[in-house]
Each structure stands twice: as structure tokens, then as C-alpha cells.
Amino acid sequence: MKTYSISGASRFLGIDAKTLRRWVRKKVIPTPKPGIVGGRLSMCWKDSDVVKIREYKKSGYWGKGINRKTGKKAKAK
């Protein structure tokens, strides 16, 4: 069973780590549990949790929002 840290899950899902943290804070995705990822103790999700996050992303995530400085749609990285 593979585990994903916050940064690893964000890279895998194609979203920013700040977005994942915001979703955890709002309780719309499962909270990561403490575990070993890459030989280090960190907060991590299992494969089944990442599937739930991916489903939430499909249903409720539109991508980058509006750039606060210009008022136009923000560019993707």
C-alpha cells in the first residue's frame, strides 16, 4: 500500500499543497494520519484516501482562480 505526504499528494493530483491544506481545514477531504513516508515521520494519506481526494477534485475544483493583482484568470504553473 502506497502512502502520500501532502507534497507528494499535491504533485500526484496536480494541485498546490496550500489547496490540500485548505481542504483539510474545511474538512472536505480526509485528514492525513501520521505515518512513515520516505523514511521520515510525516502526515500522510493512503491510496484509498487519495482516491477520495481525486473524486472531490473532479466534482468541486475548478483550478486556478483570479489573480488578485490583475483581476484576470491566474496562469497555471
Q: Is residue 38 part of a domain?
A: yes
Cell of 19: 489547496
Q: Tally the domains of the chain.
A: 1
**The C-alpha cell that represents 27 in the structure block:** 474538512
Q: Dihedral, CA atoms, 63, 56, 10, 71, nearest 10 degrees?
A: 20
What are 6-32's pLDDT values in tens digits? Answer: 999 999 998 889 999 999 999 999 999
Instruction: Return the pLDDT at 77.
Output: 52
Q: Are 45 and 32 in contact (CB under 8 A)?
A: yes
Residue 69 falls inside a structural domain = no
Judge whether 40 lies within some domain: yes
Any idea what the CATH number is for the domain that residue 15 is in?
1.10.1660.10
Q: If pLDDT is split at 50, 70 and 90, which confidence band does 53 have?
A: very high
Q: Return the amino acid letter for 39.
A: G
Secondary element (H or E) of residue 23: helix 17-26
The pLDDT of residue 69: 78
29 assigned to some structural domain: yes
